[in-house]
Chains A and B, each alone.
Chain A
């Protein structure tokens, strides 16, 4: 769910663009150095960007009965880090506004701050905190994805609240109202997306673990431990 074209007053569009541009700038610098070191990076990043676009265009079965879509940024954050995710997120958001009419150009800065910067930053913090812990990697993936998703919607609510503060109670009351409306679908969605991505990791670990090892998402030890757990579960099921 993105802020649509024209919904924010122009002053706030400018503010969110100013906040987003340094991250884009850092992302381009990091992208350039990655391509210089390994020119195979660009095609791989490109196909991952397309994957995230498709992921965010798919309607996810939601517990509340409504349909919504995953943000996909949790996966990108773990694989490529925050700066590259901000670039991929910005491209995905631009294509969503141009190909699917989701979001817009004036609100692209605000949508980037929530989905391509804020959410991934929170997810990355959780990932760094739990990466080398003894916690099961599927729980780590679940937490990273769910937190990135939730923070995205918290920031979206904040962006709307500062643009349209309440007459009584100001920004806080307005934030509460916007978040309460989003929470009906977004809280269950964050949990469902966390579960979905944990299961996605289960399939990747079972079929092509070398991707995760190459990207250094998790260590070889952690992945082989997860594979053993997976095979034990399969044997028990059988």
Chain B
């Protein structure tokens, strides 16, 4: 189920009225810098700074933010464990036999795993910055300005609109099934879940047909005109973003230099 609706948080963000282009420039810029960084320092600095911006001036609940950050943690932990045993190089730190395979963790593997861990942190925080400050409607307007095919944007808008309608329907059916002990045993769970999906598909099809009729009544000609209420780019928000990204690039350059070259 959808436990946390990130778009709802974005609607209430204090950064809601800043031009989406400025926010995208900040988030995508730091995402790319974190991604290309060969050192873990840059993503860690970027992650911490953006998190502080989200929590202190952005007034995002730290508890909510921690929940969001912990979401992809299980996949990350599983993958990091594999990376630890997969990579080599450097001295062996720990070694043990599993059947006929000799498993070992080396200093090179630990270094690589730390880099991946920090990169995931830095990049994820950059993504969360977009998600938690920019509502989807602003992103759709941004996509139009970026000349993404209009059919694709229209399709996205319909998908986005109906996600929440179907979600509330799903929750209602799901709760009714749970109350009738529909998920008590595995066999019953599969049957109930199939019934839920089948009903949802049929009702989504009917909703699509209703939407066609409703749009026909409003002279639908294949394009959804949407009012763009985006405010113009403000220098007061754009210049700090530019300074921050320049600083991050500076840290990237310093972090990639050998220590002797800096001194």
Contact = CB atoms under 8 A, between A and B. Distances in A.
Contacts of A201: 198
Given A6-B120, A47-B207, A101-B6, A61 B183 contact: yes
A75 B78 CA distance: 29
Interface stretch (B54-62, B69-77, B232-240, B242-250): B69-77
Interface stretch (B12-20, B154-162, B255-263): B154-162
Interface in A158-217: 160, 164-168, 173-174, 177-178, 181, 192, 195-197, 199-204, 207-208, 211
Most buried by A among B6, B183, B204, B209: B204
Given A6-B120, A50-B158, A200-B201, A167 B35 contact: no
A5 B162 CA distance: 26
Interface in B182-230: 183, 186, 189-191, 193-202, 204-205, 207-209, 211-212, 215, 220-222
Contacts of A128: none
A48 interface: yes
Contacts of B189: 61
A171 B119 CA distance: 22
Contacts of A101: 4, 6, 68, 71-72, 124, 127-128, 131
A164 B166 contact: no
Contact of A203 (B85, B130, B170, B195): B195
Contacts of B186: 61, 63
Contacts of B82: 164, 174, 177-178, 181
Contacts of A35: 151, 222
A203 B158 contact: no
Nearest to A55: B197
A233 interface: no
B201 A51 contact: yes
B111 interface: no
B124 A5 contact: yes
Contact of B160 (A95, A100, A160, A181): A95
Interface string B134-153: 00100100000000010110
B154 to A, nearest CB: 6
B26 interface: no
A106 B190 contact: no
Nearest to A51: B204
A7 B120 contact: yes
Contacts of A44: 205, 208-209, 212
B29 interface: no
Nearest to A31: B151
Given A4-B124, A87-B152, A104-B127, A40 B212 contact: yes
Contacts of B252: none
A40 B145 CA distance: 26
Given A55-B197, A102-B72, A32 B151 contact: yes
Given A46-B155, A47-B211, A167-B89, A6 B193 contact: no
Contacts of B76: 4, 7
A95 B139 CA distance: 11
Contacts of A18: none
Contact of A104 (B85, B116, B124): B124
A4 B205 contact: no
A46 B220 CA distance: 15
B79 interface: yes
A88 B156 CA distance: 9
B156 A54 contact: no
Nearest to A52: B159
A211 B186 CA distance: 30
A48 B190 contact: no
Most buried by B among A31, A105, A168, A202: A105
B127 A92 contact: no
B10 to A, nearest CB: 9
Contacts of A47: 158, 162, 166, 204-205, 207-208, 211
9 contacts: A39-B220, A39-B221, A49-B158, A49-B159, A51-B204, A61-B189, A95-B156, A102-B71, A168-B88
Given A92-B159, A197-B194, 6 more contacts: A6-B122, A47-B204, A91-B156, A104-B123, A167-B87, A167-B89
Interface of B: 1-2, 4-7, 28, 31-32, 34-36, 43, 68, 71-72, 75-76, 78-79, 82-83, 85-89, 109, 116, 119-124, 126-128, 130-131, 136, 139, 149, 151-152, 154-163, 165-167, 170, 183, 186, 189-191, 193-202, 204-205, 207-209, 211-212, 215, 220-222
